[in-house]
Amino acid sequence: MRLVDSSGDLSGEMEVDAFRRLFPLRYYERHLAESIRPDGRPLGMARDTTLALGAVSSADGSALAKIGSTTMLAAIKMEVMTPSAESPDEGCIAIEFHMPPICSPIVRPGRPAEAAVVVSKQLSDTILSSGMIDLKELALVNADGALFDAALLSAVAAFSHLQIPVVSLNDKGKIVAFTEEGDTVGKLEKEAVNKEKRKLTLGNIPFSLTCTLHKKHILADPSSEEESIMETLVTVVMDSSDRLVSFYKPGGPALAYTSLVTDCVRLTRQRMKELEKILDEAFSGMEVD
Amino acid sequence: MMETDRKDGRTPNQLRMLSCSRNILHRAHGSASWSQGETKVLAAVYGPNAGTKKNEDPEKACIEVIWKPKTGQIGKAEKECEMIMKKTIQSICLLTINPNTTTSVVVQVVNDDGALLPCAINAACAALVDAGIPMKHLAVAICCCVAEEGSVLLDPTKLEEQQMRGFAYIVFPNSALSALPKGSSLVDGEPLEHGIITSVTHGVMSVDEYLRCVGRGRAACAKLSDVLRRSLQKSES
Protein backbone atom coordinates (compact mmCIF):
# COMPACT_ATOMS: atom_id res chain seq x y z
CA MET A 1 0.00 0.00 0.00
CA ARG A 2 2.42 2.68 -1.20
CA LEU A 3 -0.38 5.19 -1.38
CA VAL A 4 -0.53 5.35 2.37
CA ASP A 5 2.96 6.73 2.66
CA SER A 6 2.74 9.33 -0.02
CA SER A 7 -0.54 10.73 1.16
CA GLY A 8 0.70 11.07 4.71
CA ASP A 9 0.94 14.77 4.09
CA LEU A 10 -2.63 15.02 2.97
CA SER A 11 -3.80 13.84 6.36
CA GLY A 12 -3.63 17.35 7.70
CA GLU A 13 -6.04 18.54 5.06
CA MET A 14 -8.49 15.63 5.12
CA GLU A 15 -11.37 15.52 7.50
CA VAL A 16 -10.81 13.37 10.54
CA ASP A 17 -13.68 11.02 9.69
CA ALA A 18 -12.42 10.41 6.19
CA PHE A 19 -8.93 9.68 7.49
CA ARG A 20 -10.39 7.26 9.99
CA ARG A 21 -12.19 5.33 7.27
CA LEU A 22 -9.49 5.35 4.66
CA PHE A 23 -6.41 4.71 6.73
CA PRO A 24 -7.66 3.11 9.93
CA LEU A 25 -4.34 1.67 10.99
CA ARG A 26 -2.47 4.97 10.72
CA TYR A 27 -5.29 6.75 12.47
CA TYR A 28 -4.86 4.38 15.41
CA GLU A 29 -1.11 4.52 15.35
CA ARG A 30 -1.16 8.28 15.60
CA HIS A 31 -3.24 7.90 18.72
CA LEU A 32 -1.11 5.14 20.17
CA ALA A 33 1.96 7.32 19.88
CA GLU A 34 0.30 9.59 22.44
CA SER A 35 -0.80 6.61 24.55
CA ILE A 36 -4.43 7.34 24.13
CA ARG A 37 -7.32 5.96 22.11
CA PRO A 38 -9.83 7.75 19.87
CA ASP A 39 -12.57 7.63 22.47
CA GLY A 40 -10.28 9.27 25.01
CA ARG A 41 -9.47 6.22 27.09
CA PRO A 42 -5.93 5.49 28.18
CA LEU A 43 -4.58 2.20 26.86
CA GLY A 44 -5.20 0.07 29.91
CA MET A 45 -8.67 1.24 30.76
CA ALA A 46 -11.81 -0.68 30.00
CA ARG A 47 -15.08 0.89 28.91
CA ASP A 48 -17.88 1.76 31.31
CA THR A 49 -19.57 -1.35 32.55
CA THR A 50 -23.05 -1.62 33.93
CA LEU A 51 -24.97 -4.58 35.21
CA ALA A 52 -28.69 -5.02 35.76
CA LEU A 53 -29.93 -8.10 37.58
CA GLY A 54 -33.33 -9.64 37.11
CA ALA A 55 -33.88 -8.30 33.62
CA VAL A 56 -36.08 -11.20 32.58
CA SER A 57 -38.77 -11.90 35.13
CA SER A 58 -39.89 -15.24 33.72
CA ALA A 59 -36.46 -16.77 34.10
CA ASP A 60 -35.08 -18.16 37.34
CA GLY A 61 -32.05 -15.94 37.13
CA SER A 62 -31.05 -13.31 34.65
CA ALA A 63 -28.81 -10.34 34.06
CA LEU A 64 -28.10 -7.70 31.47
CA ALA A 65 -24.50 -6.60 31.11
CA LYS A 66 -23.25 -3.63 29.13
CA ILE A 67 -19.58 -3.00 28.41
CA GLY A 68 -19.41 0.23 26.43
CA SER A 69 -22.00 -0.44 23.74
CA THR A 70 -21.71 -4.22 23.79
CA THR A 71 -24.87 -5.48 25.41
CA MET A 72 -25.45 -9.04 26.49
CA LEU A 73 -28.46 -10.65 28.06
CA ALA A 74 -28.22 -13.89 30.03
CA ALA A 75 -31.11 -15.96 31.32
CA ILE A 76 -31.02 -19.17 33.29
CA LYS A 77 -33.73 -21.74 33.32
CA MET A 78 -33.52 -24.62 35.70
CA GLU A 79 -34.96 -27.95 34.83
CA VAL A 80 -35.52 -31.05 36.82
CA MET A 81 -33.64 -33.94 35.32
CA THR A 82 -32.40 -37.37 36.14
CA PRO A 83 -28.66 -37.25 36.63
CA SER A 84 -26.36 -39.48 34.63
CA ALA A 85 -25.27 -42.78 36.10
CA GLU A 86 -21.59 -41.80 36.41
CA SER A 87 -22.12 -38.69 38.49
CA PRO A 88 -25.33 -39.16 40.40
CA ASP A 89 -25.07 -36.05 42.50
CA GLU A 90 -24.12 -33.56 39.83
CA GLY A 91 -26.33 -31.56 37.56
CA CYS A 92 -25.29 -30.30 34.19
CA ILE A 93 -25.05 -26.99 32.37
CA ALA A 94 -25.98 -26.47 28.74
CA ILE A 95 -25.01 -23.14 27.26
CA GLU A 96 -26.52 -21.59 24.16
CA PHE A 97 -25.19 -18.40 22.69
CA HIS A 98 -27.33 -16.51 20.21
CA MET A 99 -26.23 -13.68 17.95
CA PRO A 100 -29.45 -12.41 16.43
CA PRO A 101 -29.12 -10.08 13.43
CA ILE A 102 -30.16 -7.13 15.57
CA CYS A 103 -26.75 -6.98 17.13
CA SER A 104 -24.52 -6.13 14.23
CA PRO A 105 -24.60 -5.43 10.50
CA ILE A 106 -22.37 -8.38 9.69
CA VAL A 107 -24.79 -10.98 11.00
CA ARG A 108 -27.48 -12.15 8.59
CA PRO A 109 -30.58 -14.11 9.55
CA GLY A 110 -30.42 -17.84 9.08
CA ARG A 111 -26.70 -18.47 9.25
CA PRO A 112 -25.13 -18.45 12.70
CA ALA A 113 -22.08 -16.23 12.88
CA GLU A 114 -18.73 -17.91 13.32
CA ALA A 115 -18.08 -16.00 16.48
CA ALA A 116 -21.26 -17.29 18.09
CA VAL A 117 -20.19 -20.88 17.98
CA VAL A 118 -16.74 -20.17 19.28
CA VAL A 119 -17.85 -17.89 22.08
CA SER A 120 -20.43 -20.37 23.29
CA LYS A 121 -17.84 -23.11 23.38
CA GLN A 122 -15.32 -20.91 25.17
CA LEU A 123 -17.97 -19.92 27.65
CA SER A 124 -18.91 -23.53 28.39
CA ASP A 125 -15.27 -24.37 28.88
CA THR A 126 -14.67 -21.47 31.21
CA ILE A 127 -17.72 -21.98 33.34
CA LEU A 128 -17.12 -25.66 33.67
CA SER A 129 -13.40 -25.21 34.25
CA SER A 130 -13.80 -22.68 36.93
CA GLY A 131 -15.91 -25.00 38.99
CA MET A 132 -19.16 -23.03 39.02
CA ILE A 133 -22.31 -25.05 38.05
CA ASP A 134 -28.43 -25.69 34.37
CA LEU A 135 -29.63 -24.49 31.20
CA LYS A 136 -28.41 -21.16 30.16
CA GLU A 137 -29.29 -18.87 27.38
CA LEU A 138 -27.30 -15.92 26.31
CA ALA A 139 -28.46 -13.44 23.77
CA LEU A 140 -26.27 -10.77 22.29
CA VAL A 141 -28.21 -7.57 21.90
CA ASN A 142 -25.51 -5.32 20.55
CA ALA A 143 -22.08 -6.31 19.33
CA ASP A 144 -19.33 -3.79 19.82
CA GLY A 145 -16.21 -5.75 20.60
CA ALA A 146 -15.15 -7.87 23.57
CA LEU A 147 -18.07 -10.25 23.18
CA PHE A 148 -16.58 -12.85 25.43
CA ASP A 149 -16.12 -10.44 28.32
CA ALA A 150 -19.70 -9.26 28.20
CA ALA A 151 -20.97 -12.82 27.87
CA LEU A 152 -19.00 -14.04 30.84
CA LEU A 153 -20.00 -11.09 32.97
CA SER A 154 -23.70 -11.47 32.26
CA ALA A 155 -23.48 -15.23 32.81
CA VAL A 156 -21.76 -14.78 36.16
CA ALA A 157 -24.26 -12.15 37.22
CA ALA A 158 -27.18 -14.30 36.21
CA PHE A 159 -25.81 -17.20 38.21
CA SER A 160 -25.41 -14.96 41.23
CA HIS A 161 -28.97 -13.84 40.84
CA LEU A 162 -30.28 -17.35 40.43
CA GLN A 163 -32.63 -18.69 43.01
CA ILE A 164 -33.41 -22.35 42.85
CA PRO A 165 -37.18 -22.75 42.85
CA VAL A 166 -38.99 -24.97 45.29
CA VAL A 167 -39.41 -28.55 44.19
CA SER A 168 -41.51 -31.33 45.60
CA LEU A 169 -42.23 -34.98 45.00
CA ASN A 170 -45.51 -35.81 43.42
CA ASP A 171 -47.43 -39.05 43.79
CA LYS A 172 -45.57 -40.94 41.19
CA GLY A 173 -42.29 -40.25 42.89
CA LYS A 174 -41.07 -37.80 40.28
CA ILE A 175 -39.79 -34.42 41.23
CA VAL A 176 -41.93 -31.59 40.01
CA ALA A 177 -41.44 -27.89 40.25
CA PHE A 178 -43.73 -26.37 42.80
CA THR A 179 -45.72 -23.56 41.31
CA GLU A 180 -46.38 -20.63 43.54
CA GLU A 181 -49.90 -19.83 42.50
CA GLY A 182 -52.89 -22.10 42.83
CA ASP A 183 -53.31 -24.92 45.30
CA THR A 184 -55.69 -27.65 44.40
CA VAL A 185 -56.60 -30.30 46.87
CA GLY A 186 -54.41 -32.86 45.26
CA LYS A 187 -51.29 -30.78 45.65
CA LEU A 188 -51.57 -30.45 49.38
CA GLU A 189 -50.34 -33.98 49.75
CA LYS A 190 -46.99 -33.11 48.39
CA GLU A 191 -44.31 -31.97 50.72
CA ALA A 192 -41.90 -29.43 49.54
CA VAL A 193 -38.42 -30.85 49.45
CA ASN A 194 -36.83 -27.53 50.04
CA LYS A 195 -38.97 -25.06 51.84
CA GLU A 196 -37.93 -21.87 50.23
CA LYS A 197 -36.08 -20.60 47.25
CA ARG A 198 -32.41 -20.72 47.90
CA LYS A 199 -29.54 -19.11 46.11
CA LEU A 200 -26.92 -21.08 44.31
CA THR A 201 -23.60 -21.12 46.15
CA LEU A 202 -20.92 -20.10 43.75
CA GLY A 203 -17.36 -21.28 43.80
CA ASN A 204 -14.64 -18.96 42.59
CA ILE A 205 -16.11 -16.45 40.19
CA PRO A 206 -14.24 -15.96 36.91
CA PHE A 207 -13.75 -12.56 35.34
CA SER A 208 -12.21 -11.84 32.00
CA LEU A 209 -10.48 -9.16 30.02
CA THR A 210 -9.90 -9.10 26.29
CA CYS A 211 -6.95 -7.13 24.96
CA THR A 212 -5.57 -6.57 21.52
CA LEU A 213 -1.84 -6.50 20.90
CA HIS A 214 -0.37 -4.17 18.37
CA LYS A 215 3.39 -3.86 18.04
CA LYS A 216 4.33 -2.97 21.56
CA HIS A 217 1.04 -1.65 22.82
CA ILE A 218 -1.60 -3.54 24.70
CA LEU A 219 -5.11 -2.13 24.37
CA ALA A 220 -7.57 -3.31 26.96
CA ASP A 221 -11.21 -3.92 26.09
CA PRO A 222 -11.29 -3.09 22.37
CA SER A 223 -14.35 -1.84 20.56
CA SER A 224 -15.33 -3.66 17.38
CA GLU A 225 -13.51 -1.11 15.24
CA GLU A 226 -10.28 -1.65 17.15
CA GLU A 227 -10.77 -5.42 17.02
CA SER A 228 -11.11 -5.46 13.29
CA ILE A 229 -7.97 -3.45 12.69
CA MET A 230 -5.64 -5.06 15.16
CA GLU A 231 -5.89 -8.70 14.48
CA THR A 232 -4.32 -10.17 17.57
CA LEU A 233 -6.68 -10.78 20.45
CA VAL A 234 -5.86 -12.14 23.87
CA THR A 235 -8.49 -13.08 26.41
CA VAL A 236 -7.36 -13.71 29.96
CA VAL A 237 -9.80 -15.15 32.48
CA MET A 238 -8.91 -15.13 36.15
CA ASP A 239 -10.95 -16.12 39.12
CA SER A 240 -11.34 -14.53 42.50
CA SER A 241 -8.69 -16.73 44.10
CA ASP A 242 -6.13 -15.29 41.66
CA ARG A 243 -5.81 -18.39 39.54
CA LEU A 244 -5.63 -18.36 35.77
CA VAL A 245 -8.69 -20.02 34.30
CA SER A 246 -7.83 -19.38 30.72
CA PHE A 247 -5.22 -17.64 28.58
CA TYR A 248 -6.71 -17.67 25.12
CA LYS A 249 -4.74 -16.36 22.19
CA PRO A 250 -5.90 -17.78 18.86
CA GLY A 251 -3.03 -16.98 16.52
CA GLY A 252 -2.61 -13.47 15.20
CA PRO A 253 0.39 -11.68 13.77
CA ALA A 254 1.74 -10.35 17.06
CA LEU A 255 3.61 -12.79 19.27
CA ALA A 256 3.20 -12.83 23.04
CA TYR A 257 6.43 -12.62 24.94
CA THR A 258 6.67 -13.27 28.66
CA SER A 259 6.58 -9.58 29.47
CA LEU A 260 3.38 -9.21 27.48
CA VAL A 261 1.85 -12.18 29.22
CA THR A 262 2.56 -10.69 32.64
CA ASP A 263 1.24 -7.31 31.53
CA CYS A 264 -2.03 -8.81 30.30
CA VAL A 265 -2.41 -10.69 33.56
CA ARG A 266 -1.81 -7.52 35.54
CA LEU A 267 -4.45 -5.65 33.56
CA THR A 268 -6.87 -8.51 34.09
CA ARG A 269 -6.32 -8.40 37.84
CA GLN A 270 -7.13 -4.70 37.88
CA ARG A 271 -10.23 -5.26 35.81
CA MET A 272 -11.27 -8.08 38.12
CA LYS A 273 -11.34 -5.73 41.08
CA GLU A 274 -13.48 -3.26 39.14
CA LEU A 275 -15.87 -5.98 38.07
CA GLU A 276 -16.18 -7.43 41.56
CA LYS A 277 -17.13 -4.02 42.84
CA ILE A 278 -19.74 -3.58 40.12
CA LEU A 279 -21.22 -7.00 40.83
CA ASP A 280 -21.44 -6.24 44.55
CA GLU A 281 -23.08 -2.90 43.92
CA ALA A 282 -25.64 -4.43 41.61
CA PHE A 283 -26.41 -6.98 44.28
CA SER A 284 -26.85 -4.64 47.14
CA GLY A 285 -29.05 -2.54 44.88
CA MET A 286 -31.28 -5.57 44.40
CA GLU A 287 -31.47 -6.64 47.99
CA VAL A 288 -32.74 -3.29 49.08
CA ASP A 289 -36.10 -3.96 47.44
CA MET B 1 11.36 -31.44 43.16
CA MET B 2 8.27 -33.57 42.85
CA GLU B 3 8.59 -36.63 40.67
CA THR B 4 5.31 -37.78 39.26
CA ASP B 5 5.22 -41.33 38.03
CA ARG B 6 3.50 -41.43 34.68
CA LYS B 7 1.61 -44.50 33.58
CA ASP B 8 3.78 -45.14 30.56
CA GLY B 9 6.98 -44.64 32.50
CA ARG B 10 8.02 -41.30 30.99
CA THR B 11 9.70 -38.53 32.93
CA PRO B 12 7.76 -35.26 33.19
CA ASN B 13 9.77 -33.66 30.40
CA GLN B 14 9.79 -36.53 28.01
CA LEU B 15 7.81 -36.39 24.79
CA ARG B 16 6.23 -39.41 23.16
CA MET B 17 7.53 -41.06 20.01
CA LEU B 18 7.29 -38.51 17.22
CA SER B 19 7.04 -39.36 13.59
CA CYS B 20 6.23 -37.35 10.51
CA SER B 21 5.79 -38.39 6.90
CA ARG B 22 5.18 -36.15 3.95
CA ASN B 23 3.63 -36.47 0.53
CA ILE B 24 1.41 -39.39 1.40
CA LEU B 25 -1.67 -38.26 -0.53
CA HIS B 26 -0.90 -37.98 -4.19
CA ARG B 27 -3.95 -35.99 -5.29
CA ALA B 28 -3.45 -33.21 -2.76
CA HIS B 29 -1.01 -30.42 -3.44
CA GLY B 30 0.65 -31.08 -0.12
CA SER B 31 0.08 -33.59 2.64
CA ALA B 32 1.64 -34.81 5.84
CA SER B 33 0.89 -37.07 8.74
CA TRP B 34 2.14 -36.37 12.22
CA SER B 35 1.96 -38.69 15.16
CA GLN B 36 2.88 -38.26 18.80
CA GLY B 37 2.61 -41.60 20.55
CA GLU B 38 -0.86 -42.89 19.72
CA THR B 39 -2.28 -39.57 18.56
CA LYS B 40 -2.20 -39.35 14.79
CA VAL B 41 -3.39 -36.61 12.48
CA LEU B 42 -3.42 -36.40 8.70
CA ALA B 43 -3.34 -33.00 7.00
CA ALA B 44 -3.85 -32.18 3.34
CA VAL B 45 -3.40 -28.83 1.63
CA TYR B 46 -5.17 -27.82 -1.56
CA GLY B 47 -4.24 -24.52 -3.03
CA PRO B 48 -3.85 -21.78 -3.80
CA ASN B 49 -7.17 -21.85 -5.63
CA ALA B 50 -8.61 -18.81 -7.32
CA GLY B 51 -11.02 -16.55 -5.51
CA THR B 52 -11.64 -15.78 -1.86
CA LYS B 53 -14.65 -16.44 0.29
CA LYS B 54 -17.35 -13.89 0.84
CA ASN B 55 -16.29 -11.75 3.77
CA GLU B 56 -12.58 -12.13 3.32
CA ASP B 57 -10.11 -9.50 2.22
CA PRO B 58 -9.34 -9.88 -1.50
CA GLU B 59 -5.96 -8.20 -1.07
CA LYS B 60 -4.68 -11.17 0.87
CA ALA B 61 -4.69 -14.93 0.47
CA CYS B 62 -7.43 -16.65 2.41
CA ILE B 63 -6.86 -19.77 4.50
CA GLU B 64 -9.67 -22.20 5.10
CA VAL B 65 -9.45 -25.04 7.60
CA ILE B 66 -11.73 -28.06 7.61
CA TRP B 67 -11.51 -30.30 10.63
CA LYS B 68 -12.77 -33.83 10.31
CA PRO B 69 -13.17 -35.71 13.60
CA LYS B 70 -12.56 -39.42 13.77
CA THR B 71 -16.21 -40.22 14.48
CA GLY B 72 -19.34 -38.24 14.96
CA GLN B 73 -20.74 -35.10 13.42
CA ILE B 74 -19.11 -31.73 13.17
CA GLY B 75 -20.07 -29.72 16.22
CA LYS B 76 -18.94 -26.69 18.18
CA ALA B 77 -15.66 -28.18 19.34
CA GLU B 78 -14.60 -28.84 15.76
CA LYS B 79 -15.57 -25.33 14.68
CA GLU B 80 -13.50 -23.89 17.48
CA CYS B 81 -10.47 -25.97 16.47
CA GLU B 82 -10.95 -24.80 12.90
CA MET B 83 -10.93 -21.17 13.97
CA ILE B 84 -7.86 -21.54 16.17
CA MET B 85 -5.94 -23.33 13.42
CA LYS B 86 -7.01 -20.80 10.81
CA LYS B 87 -5.77 -17.88 12.88
CA THR B 88 -2.51 -19.66 13.70
CA ILE B 89 -1.83 -20.54 10.06
CA GLN B 90 -2.72 -17.02 8.96
CA SER B 91 -0.04 -15.64 11.21
CA ILE B 92 2.70 -17.84 9.82
CA CYS B 93 1.88 -17.62 6.12
CA LEU B 94 2.85 -14.76 3.87
CA LEU B 95 -0.60 -13.73 2.82
CA THR B 96 0.26 -10.89 0.51
CA ILE B 97 2.13 -13.01 -2.04
CA ASN B 98 -0.92 -14.59 -3.62
CA PRO B 99 -3.83 -12.22 -3.13
CA ASN B 100 -7.38 -13.24 -3.93
CA THR B 101 -6.74 -16.96 -3.54
CA THR B 102 -7.98 -19.59 -1.12
CA THR B 103 -5.84 -22.32 0.37
CA SER B 104 -7.73 -25.14 2.02
CA VAL B 105 -6.24 -27.21 4.78
CA VAL B 106 -8.13 -30.39 5.58
CA VAL B 107 -7.31 -32.02 8.89
CA GLN B 108 -8.39 -35.61 9.50
CA VAL B 109 -8.11 -37.03 12.99
CA VAL B 110 -6.93 -40.62 12.72
CA ASN B 111 -6.59 -41.26 16.43
CA ASP B 112 -6.94 -39.08 19.49
CA ASP B 113 -4.83 -39.95 22.50
CA GLY B 114 -4.17 -36.53 23.99
CA ALA B 115 -2.54 -33.35 22.63
CA LEU B 116 -4.77 -33.42 19.56
CA LEU B 117 -4.69 -29.77 18.57
CA PRO B 118 -0.89 -29.42 18.78
CA CYS B 119 -0.53 -32.57 16.70
CA ALA B 120 -2.89 -31.13 14.11
CA ILE B 121 -1.03 -27.84 13.94
CA ASN B 122 2.29 -29.63 13.46
CA ALA B 123 0.80 -31.80 10.74
CA ALA B 124 -0.73 -28.79 8.99
CA CYS B 125 2.60 -26.98 9.08
CA ALA B 126 4.42 -29.89 7.46
CA ALA B 127 1.67 -30.21 4.85
CA LEU B 128 1.91 -26.50 4.02
CA VAL B 129 5.63 -26.85 3.42
CA ASP B 130 4.98 -29.90 1.29
CA ALA B 131 2.56 -27.87 -0.83
CA GLY B 132 5.00 -25.02 -1.19
CA ILE B 133 2.83 -22.35 0.41
CA PRO B 134 5.02 -19.33 1.22
CA MET B 135 5.53 -18.93 4.97
CA LYS B 136 7.39 -16.55 7.23
CA HIS B 137 8.54 -19.30 9.54
CA LEU B 138 7.33 -22.64 10.79
CA ALA B 139 5.26 -23.23 13.86
CA VAL B 140 5.66 -25.96 16.47
CA ALA B 141 2.92 -26.81 18.91
CA ILE B 142 3.06 -28.55 22.22
CA CYS B 143 0.76 -29.50 25.06
CA CYS B 144 1.68 -29.07 28.71
CA CYS B 145 -0.46 -30.06 31.64
CA VAL B 146 -0.43 -29.11 35.29
CA ALA B 147 -0.90 -31.83 37.88
CA GLU B 148 -2.70 -31.40 41.20
CA GLU B 149 0.47 -30.65 43.14
CA GLY B 150 1.62 -28.10 40.61
CA SER B 151 4.19 -30.06 38.63
CA VAL B 152 4.25 -29.64 34.89
CA LEU B 153 4.08 -32.62 32.52
CA LEU B 154 4.69 -32.43 28.79
CA ASP B 155 2.77 -34.15 26.02
CA PRO B 156 0.02 -35.86 28.04
CA THR B 157 -1.98 -38.85 26.88
CA LYS B 158 -5.74 -38.54 26.85
CA LEU B 159 -6.05 -40.20 30.25
CA GLU B 160 -3.53 -37.82 31.74
CA GLU B 161 -5.29 -34.82 30.19
CA GLN B 162 -8.54 -35.79 31.82
CA GLN B 163 -7.04 -36.43 35.22
CA MET B 164 -4.91 -33.33 35.41
CA ARG B 165 -6.03 -30.08 36.91
CA GLY B 166 -5.46 -28.15 33.73
CA PHE B 167 -3.62 -28.20 30.45
CA ALA B 168 -2.43 -25.72 27.85
CA TYR B 169 -1.81 -25.99 24.13
CA ILE B 170 0.93 -23.59 23.11
CA VAL B 171 2.31 -22.80 19.65
CA PHE B 172 5.74 -21.24 19.16
CA PRO B 173 7.34 -19.86 16.01
CA ASN B 174 10.35 -21.62 14.66
CA SER B 175 12.52 -19.17 12.80
CA ALA B 176 15.41 -19.68 10.40
CA LEU B 177 18.42 -21.48 11.83
CA SER B 178 21.66 -19.57 11.97
CA ALA B 179 21.06 -17.87 8.64
CA LEU B 180 20.85 -14.64 10.60
CA PRO B 181 23.71 -13.49 12.80
CA LYS B 182 23.13 -14.13 16.46
CA GLY B 183 21.39 -11.41 18.33
CA SER B 184 19.79 -9.81 15.33
CA SER B 185 16.28 -10.94 16.10
CA LEU B 186 15.90 -9.89 19.68
CA VAL B 187 12.64 -8.37 20.74
CA ASP B 188 12.43 -7.01 24.26
CA GLY B 189 15.56 -8.90 25.10
CA GLU B 190 14.09 -12.26 24.11
CA PRO B 191 14.86 -14.05 20.87
CA LEU B 192 12.12 -14.40 18.28
CA GLU B 193 11.47 -18.03 19.12
CA HIS B 194 10.20 -17.16 22.55
CA GLY B 195 7.01 -15.45 21.52
CA ILE B 196 3.75 -17.36 21.71
CA ILE B 197 1.69 -17.47 18.54
CA THR B 198 -1.28 -19.26 20.05
CA SER B 199 -2.28 -20.41 23.48
CA VAL B 200 -5.43 -22.23 24.59
CA THR B 201 -5.88 -23.38 28.15
CA HIS B 202 -8.38 -25.61 29.90
CA GLY B 203 -8.87 -25.95 33.62
CA VAL B 204 -7.41 -23.71 36.31
CA MET B 205 -3.80 -23.06 37.12
CA SER B 206 -1.92 -20.25 38.75
CA VAL B 207 -0.13 -17.63 36.67
CA ASP B 208 3.26 -19.01 37.72
CA GLU B 209 2.29 -22.51 36.68
CA TYR B 210 1.21 -21.17 33.32
CA LEU B 211 4.51 -19.37 32.84
CA ARG B 212 6.36 -22.54 33.81
CA CYS B 213 4.38 -24.47 31.20
CA VAL B 214 5.40 -21.89 28.64
CA GLY B 215 9.05 -22.19 29.61
CA ARG B 216 9.09 -25.98 29.51
CA GLY B 217 7.12 -26.02 26.29
CA ARG B 218 9.62 -23.70 24.65
CA ALA B 219 12.51 -25.92 25.60
CA ALA B 220 10.77 -29.01 24.32
CA CYS B 221 9.88 -27.34 21.05
CA ALA B 222 13.49 -27.49 20.01
CA LYS B 223 13.15 -31.26 19.80
CA LEU B 224 9.90 -31.05 17.87
CA SER B 225 11.34 -28.64 15.37
CA ASP B 226 14.27 -31.01 14.85
CA VAL B 227 11.91 -33.78 13.83
CA LEU B 228 10.08 -31.40 11.55
CA ARG B 229 13.23 -30.21 9.84
CA ARG B 230 14.63 -33.69 9.41
CA SER B 231 11.50 -34.90 7.73
CA LEU B 232 11.51 -31.86 5.46
CA GLN B 233 15.08 -32.42 4.44
CA LYS B 234 14.72 -36.17 3.97
CA SER B 235 12.57 -35.95 0.87
CA GLU B 236 14.83 -33.53 -0.91
CA SER B 237 17.31 -35.98 -2.32
Burial profile B81-94: b = 16 or more Cβ within 10 angstroms, e = fewer: bbbbbbbbbbbbbe
What pLDDT, on the 0 to 100 scale, is given for residue A60?
Answer: 74
Q: Which residues of A touch B84 (CB under 8 A)?
A: 250-251
Task: Write out chain B residues lying below 8 Å of A247, CB-based.
Answer: 168, 199, 201, 210
* Among A residues 52-91, those touching chain B with beta carbons less than 8 Å apart: none
- Give residues with Cβ within 8 angstroms of B116, minimum separation 6: B39, B41, B109
Taking a C-beta distance cutoff of 8 angstroms, is the pair B20, B43 a contact?
no
Residues 6+ away with beta carbon under 8 Å from A97: A116, A117, A119, A120, A123, A138, A140, A151
**pLDDT tens-digit readout, B102-139:** 999 999 999 988 889 999 999 999 999 899 998 888 88
Query: Mind giving me the DSSP string for B123-137?
Result: HHHHHHHHHT--BSS
- B28 interface with A at CB cutoff 8 Å: no
Closest CA to A83 of A125, A159, A134: A134
pTM of the model: 0.79
Q: What share of chain A is helix, strand, coil (3-state, %, to 5)?
A: 35, 25, 40
Reply yes or no on whether the pLDDT at A170 is more than 60.
Answer: no
Cα(A281)–Cα(A51) distance, integer angstroms: 9
What does the angle CA A69 – CA A70 – CA A74 come to, to the nearest 5 degrees? Answer: 135
- Closest CB to B204: pick one of A106, A121, A129: A129
Q: Which amino acid is at B236?
A: E
DSSP letters of A92-158?
--EEEEE--GGG-TT--TTSPPHHHHHHHHHHHHHHHHTT---EEEEEEEE--S-HHHHHHHHHHHH
- How confident is the model over A46-58, as pLDDT tens digits? 888 888 887 777 8
In the sheet that holds B39-50, the strands lie side by side as B18-22, B30-36, B39-50, B101-111, B62-68
What number is the ipTM of this complex?
0.79
- Count other C-beta atoms under 10 Å from residue B106's C-beta: 19
Contacts of A248 in chain B (CB under 8 A): 199-201
Q: How far apart are CA B52 and CA A258, in angstroms?
A: 36
Which of A107, A132, A234, A258 to substitute to test the interface with B, most B CBs within 10 Å?
A258
Which ranges of chain B have pLDDT less than 50?
1-3, 178-189, 237
**Looking at beta carbons, which residues of chain A come within 8 Å of B187?**
255, 257
User: Is residue B212 within 8 Å of B145, Cβ to Cβ?
Assistant: no
Report the pLDDT averaged over residues A100-110: 67
Q: What's the rounded Cα separation, in Å, for the pair A115 and A55?
A: 25
Residue A181 has pLDDT above 50, yes or no: no
Separation between Cα atoms, residue A156 and residue A62, nearest integer Å: 10
